[in-house]
């Protein structure tokens, strides 16, 4: 690619210099890179929300793109840094589960532990690996560096338990809130392919102190202000509130527990 694409996803926000510093490092190494922001508004430290958001975006970019993801509450610890190649795309991230939903959706991923310090920015800060490790490595990959040059193969990447619900006794399932979108829709990890019976079968969906029992295929078919479950555009069961924010009404944040029971 004459203008290699590098996407960025972080929980850094845009009020500080962090994202700009990462972009500066990238452009210093790969000046023709096209930098595309997926999001910098991931809830701080929410690995599951970052994993979900990355999984929803990467597949729509052209092959050859490099995806740089940094949600890294363990920065400076013994957690590994990894790079992966998946279906012609490459990923750079901390090995803390941030790539869970990408890796779970495909087969044949090639994964390497990042240990080749010659591709780092020195000195490496203990608190800003996004700038000093992940950004320069992503830039070198975009310039054509082979994944194998970064370090040894890695067969045991950290996989988060949030990728799918857990079956409990008595026909119950326990899931989690993956994300809250700008409209306040609550996106759960109940994937529609498995739990599509919600559209036809009586159910109880418990979120904190509230229990929902109604489904609607669209927002407009429900009275304004009413909570309901629906099939989201990303393939998961969502909880919505017509012309209002369901998350605010339910006081939910990413990581909250959701329980589904068939009646």
- What's the pLDDT band for 1 if we cut at 50, 70, 90? low
Asked whether residue 214 falls in the same domain as residue 139, the answer is: no
8 A C-beta contact, residue 96 and residue 74: yes
Asked whether residue 144 falls in the same domain as residue 27, the answer is: yes
Asked whether residue 128 falls in the same domain as residue 185, the answer is: no
- What's the pLDDT band for 133 if we cut at 50, 70, 90? very high
pLDDT surpassing 70 at residue 5: yes
- Give dist(CA 54, CA 98) in Å, integer: 8
User: What residues contact residue 213 under an 8 Å CB cut-off, 6+ apart?
Assistant: 202, 203, 204, 205, 263
- Give dist(CA 187, CA 246) in Å, integer: 10
DSSP state of 62: P
pLDDT surpassing 80 at residue 125: yes
Look at the chain and report how many structural domains it folds into. Answer: 2
- What's the pLDDT band for 249 if we cut at 50, 70, 90? very high
C-alpha distance from residue 181 to each of 126, 174, 252, 256 (Å): 32, 21, 12, 15
pLDDT surpassing 90 at residue 174: yes
Question: 19-35 b/e with 16+ CB inside 10 Å = b?
Answer: bebbbebbeebbeebeb
pTM of the complete model: 0.94
- pLDDT tens digits for range 11-33: 999 999 999 999 999 999 999 99
pLDDT surpassing 90 at residue 80: yes
The answer to whether position 181 is within a domain reads yes
**By CB neighbour count within 10 A (0-12 exposed, 13-18 middle, 19+ buried), where does 66 fall?**
buried
pLDDT surpassing 90 at residue 103: yes
CA-wise closest residue to 2 among 62, 54, 60: 62
Domain range spanning residue 169? 164-262
Q: What percent of the chain has a predicted confidence (pLDDT) above 90? A: 94
Asked whether residue 14 falls in the same domain as residue 86, the answer is: yes
Position 170 scores a pLDDT of 85
- pLDDT tens digits for range 41-78: 999 999 999 999 999 999 999 999 999 999 999 999 99
- pLDDT tens digits for range 223-242: 998 999 999 999 999 999 99
Tell me, what CATH number does 73's domain have?
Answer: 3.40.50.10790
CA-wise closest residue to 208 among 262, 167, 256, 260: 256
Average pLDDT over residues 170-183: 94
The answer to whether position 157 is within a domain reads no
pLDDT, the chain, mean = 96
- pLDDT tens digits for range 184-228: 999 999 999 999 999 999 999 999 889 999 999 999 999 998 999
């Amino acid at each position: 690619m004459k203008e290699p694409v590098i996407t960025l996803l972080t929980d850094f926000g845009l009020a500080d210099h962090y994202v700009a510093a990462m972009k500066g490092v990238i452009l210093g190494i790969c000046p023709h890179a096209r930098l595309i922001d997926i999001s910098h508004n991931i809830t701080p430290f929410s690995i599951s929300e970052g994993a979900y958001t990355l999984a929803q975006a990467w597949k729509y970019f052209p092959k050859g793109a490099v995806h740089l993801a940094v949600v890294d509450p363990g920065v400076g610890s013994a957690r590994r840094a990894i790079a992966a190649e998946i279906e012609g795309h490459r990923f750079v991230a901390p090995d803390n589960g941030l790539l869970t939903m990408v890796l779970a959706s495909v087969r044949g991923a090639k994964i390497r532990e990042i240990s080749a310090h010659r591709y780092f920015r020195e000195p490496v800060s203990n608190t800003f690996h996004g700038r000093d490790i992940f950004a320069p490595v992503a830039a070198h990959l975009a310039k054509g560096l082979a994944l194998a040059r970064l370090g040894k193969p890695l067969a045991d990447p950290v996989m988060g338990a949030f990728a799918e619900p857990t079956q409990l006794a008595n026909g119950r399932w326990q899931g989690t809130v993956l994300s809250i979108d700008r409209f306040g829709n609550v996106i759960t990890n109940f994937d529609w392919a498995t739990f599509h019976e919600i559209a036809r079968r009586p159910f109880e969906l418990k979120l904190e102190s509230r229990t929902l029992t109604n489904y609607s295929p669209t927002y407009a078919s429900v009275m304004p202000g009413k909570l309901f479950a629906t099939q989201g555009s990303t393939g998961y069961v969502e909880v919505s509130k017509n012309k209002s924010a369901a998350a605010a009404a339910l006081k939910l944040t990413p990581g909250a527990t959701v329980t589904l029971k068939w009646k």
